[in-house]
Amino acid sequence: MANTPSEYIQHHLQNLVYGEHPEKGWILAQTPEEVAQMGFWAVHVDTMGWSVFMGLIFLGLFRLAANKATTGIPGGLQNMAEMAIEFVQGIVKDTFHGRNALVAPLALTIFVWVLLMNSLKWIPVDYIPGLASLLGLPYFKIVPTADPNGTFGIALGVFILIIFYSIKVKGLGGFTKELSFTPFNHWALIPFNLFLEIIGLLTKPLSLALRLFGNMYAGEVVFILIALLPFYLQFGLNVPWAIFHILVIPLQAFIFMVLTVVYLSAAHEDHH
């Protein structure tokens, strides 16, 4: 474990990485240097594990509710699932004007999944890494949304859907035309338009991923800093910060969902 505060912080911000080391083959990285040497061909075991675990909790709960769904008086679980669905349906109805059966379930998945992943932040920062080090794991970072891979992974999925539906609805020609002739409808300005539009297009997943990652990462860092204080001070700062996250955690999940719906709505709009 770490001794100095900076080592402690670095330790808590390091994922558990399994990857191909140039010299040692496929191993769990023991030091940040090993992680750096692994390059792209490595997996954050903790991010993947916890995100999949949270996804399974979400789908398991909702599937259970769906299996037991009655048209009569719903039980507690079904009530919760229906509340989430009605909430998402309302957002989608207000924001998305196309016809697509994918968008609402997509929005529900993003909202609940991201919410669950974010809520892992409420687990005190030393619990899980401490447990992991008892099991002999060098690092363990449990919040998948405080890992850029986690948020960019979702944003990449959304980006692929944006491109797919843009081309599907407008046609390849229509989509290219939209990129080339907006905002300035003149042939001489096509390069300029393309430059603007492609940047705008790429900004969408970037803003999605970075906003969520930035918020979660910053909150995580503050939790870690608080954990460095003497124990009699931690309580006074940790509790307000955790209570503040009652606001931050659903809000970030909500923003991610709404922006996804907005972007997909824009992808479905045909101006011609």
Partner 1 sequence: MNINLTLIGQTIAFAIFVWFCMKFVWPPLTSAMQERQKKIAEGLDAAGRAERDLHLAQERAAQLLRESKEQASAIIDRANKTANSIVEEAKTQARTEGEKLIAAAKVEIDLEVNRAKDQLRAQVAVLAVVGAEKILESSIDGAAHNELVAKLASQL
Does 19 interact with partner 1 (rule: CB under 8 A)?
Answer: yes
Which of 56, 57, 50 shows the shortest CA–CA distance to 16?
50
Site mask for partner 1 (CB under 8 A), range 26-55, x = bound: ---------xx-xxxxxxx--xx--xx--x
Question: Which two three-digit tokens encode residue 143?
Answer: 């919040």
In angstroms, give the least distance from the CB of 43 to partner 1. Answer: 5
Distance CA 225, CA 8 (A): 9
CB of 32 to partner 1, least distance (A): 9
* Residue among 150 and 219 whose Cβ is closer to partner 1: 150
Sole binder of partner 1 in the list 17, 92, 257, 267 (CB under 8 A): 17
* Smallest gap from residue 106 Cβ to partner 1 (A): 5
- On whether the CB atoms of residues 205 and 158 are closer than 8 A, the answer is yes
Contact 188, 178 (CB under 8 A): no
Residues 145-184 within binding reach of partner 1 (CB under 8 A) = 147-150, 152-154, 156-157, 160
Torsion of CA 164, 165, 169, 172, to 10 degrees: -30
Amino acid identity at 270: D
Q: Which of residues 91-120 bind partner 1 (CB under 8 A)?
A: 101-102, 104-106, 108-109, 113
Residues with catalytic roles: 207, 211, 215
Toward partner 1, which CB reaches closer, 181 or 217? 217
Burial (Cβ within 10 Å: 0-12, 13-18, ≥19) of residue 102 = exposed
Tell me which residues in 63-92 interact with partner 1 (CB under 8 A): 63, 65-67, 69-72, 74, 78, 81-82, 85-86, 89
| 31 contacts: CB under 8 Å, gap ≥ 6 | 138
* Dist CA 123 CA 219 (whole Å): 13
In whole angstroms, give the CA distance from residue 49 to residue 46.
5
Nearer to partner 1, 56 or 190 (CB): 56
The binding site for partner 1 (CB under 8 A) comprises: 13, 15, 17, 19, 35-36, 38-44, 47-48, 51-52, 55, 58-59, 62-63, 65-67, 69-72, 74, 78, 81-82, 85-86, 89, 101-102, 104-106, 108-109, 113, 144, 147-150, 152-154, 156-157, 160
